[in-house]
Amino acid sequence: MKTAELRVKIIRKIESLDSAKLKEFDGILQNFLNSSIETDDWIGVSESEIEGIESAILELDAGKGTPHVQIMKNSREKHSHV
């Protein structure tokens, strides 16, 4: 497939996305464009693992993560009796 054909195919798919998927795609695209990870780093990683990683990144970017400090505090409280 030539570059121009691929560009048209991608644009058509983007234009068909609903608002939520468009926002999700934008996040994925921004992560891709801003990353310095080489594609070789993804060799051997399954498609479902990649999707999980990308989903987690989007959640973190949306502020849905738990800060490390809070995780450690919760862990200490839970296991302080040991």
Domain-embedded: residue 55: yes
Please tell me the predicted confidence (pLDDT) of residue 36: 66
Arithmetic mean of pLDDT, 13-31? 91
pTM over 0.75: no
Helix (H, G, I), strand (E, B) or coil at 56: helix
Q: What is the pLDDT of residues 44-80, one digit of tens each?
A: 899 999 999 999 999 988 889 888 899 999 999 988 8
Structure tokens of 15? Answer: 């234009």
The stretches of 1-82 forming alpha helices (DSSP H) are: 3-15, 19-34, 47-61, 68-79
> Domains in the chain: how many in total?
1
Domain-embedded: residue 51: yes
Domain-embedded: residue 54: yes
- Phi, psi dihedrals of residue 43, rounded to the nearest 5°: -65, 130
Task: Answer yes or no: is pLDDT of 82 > 80.
Answer: no
Domain that holds residue 72: 18-79
Domain-embedded: residue 58: yes
Handedness of CA 64, 65, 70, 76 (dihedral sign): positive
Domain-embedded: residue 66: yes
